[in-house]
Each structure stands twice: as C-alpha cells, then as structure tokens.
C-alpha cells in the first residue's frame, strides 16, 4: 500500500490477531508486530518506496526490530557480540524474506491493483 502508516496498521492488526488467537504472550506479540510495522513505515517515510533497496532495508530493519522487545523483556544480559550476531541474523532474515520475496510479489502483481 502506498499510504503512510499502512505497515503500522498491518502490524497492529497482525499483532491483535496473534494476541487474541495464537499467543500466550498477548501484549508482547502485539508490541512486536506493531514495532515491526512502525519501523517499516519509518524507513518508507525517509526513503523512496519505489526503490528495491528501500524494500530490502525496511524488511531487514523491521525484522531486527522485534529483538528489541525480546531483549528488553526476556533476555538476560549477554555480551555485545551475542546481541550483534542476533541482530545481524534477524536483519539478514528480514532482508531475504521481507525484502527479496516482497519485491518478487510486487513484480508479479499487476500495477493496476
């Protein structure tokens, strides 16, 4: 969706569904999904939405952002290299699944939709 805030709205909706039906962690599921959507919207606000690189960066940062909630509420204090490795792995995962696959889906969908 080319509208500002659409990723945040989608994240909130996803989080509400997860919290209501699938998760025993309720509020945390909602916060993680909301944060992921908000991060994607921030990236789209500062970079041109039409560029593939923007979609890749939004996917990577959005995926890595969920570790903020998990780190803040659940993880014990760990050495910085452990956190750096986790954030890097999450960023790469988001880059692949959130960025690469999204560009392929956008390519397959007719522009008239």
Task: Report which of 62, 60, 19 is spatially closest to residue 40, judged by C-alpha positions.
Answer: 62
| Domain annotation covers residue 52 | yes
Q: What percent of the chain has pLDDT over 90?
A: 32
| Domain annotation covers residue 33 | yes
| Domain annotation covers residue 69 | yes
| Domain annotation covers residue 78 | yes
| Domain annotation covers residue 74 | yes
The tokens for 103 are: 């560009």
SS3 string of 18-86? HHHHHCCCCHHHHHHHHHHHHHHHHHHHHCCCCCHHHHHHHHHHHHHHHHHHHHHHCCCCCCHHHHHHH
The tokens for 65 are: 């952002």
Global pTM? 0.81
Decide which of 65 and 52 is more confident.
Answer: 65
pLDDT at 39 over 60: yes
| Domain annotation covers residue 62 | yes
Number of domains the chain contains: 1
How large is the average pLDDT for residues 63-83?
88
Contacts 24+ apart (CB under 8 A), 17-22: none
Give the lowest-confidence range in 13-17, 19-23, 59-63, 87-91. Answer: 19-23
Decide which of 92 and 2 is more confident.
Answer: 92
| Domain annotation covers residue 113 | no
Task: For residue 20, give its domain range.
Answer: 6-108
- Looking up tokens 């699938």, which residue turns up? 22
Task: Report which of 106, 99, 94 is spatially closest to residue 55, judged by C-alpha positions.
Answer: 99
| Domain annotation covers residue 1 | no
């Amino acid at each position: 969706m080319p509208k500002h805030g659409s990723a945040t709205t989608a994240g909130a909706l996803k989080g509400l569904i997860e919290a209501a039906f699938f998760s025993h962690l309720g509020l945390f599921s909602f916060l993680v999904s909301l944060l992921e959507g908000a991060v994607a919207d921030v990236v789209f606000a500062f970079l041109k939405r039409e560029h593939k690189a923007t979609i890749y960066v939004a996917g990577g940062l959005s995926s890595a952002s969920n570790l903020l909630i998990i780190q803040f509420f659940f993880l014990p204090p760990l050495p910085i290299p452990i956190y750096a490795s986790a954030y890097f792995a999450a960023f790469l995962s988001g880059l692949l699944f959130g960025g690469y696959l999204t560009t392929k889906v956008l390519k397959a969908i007719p522009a008239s939709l």
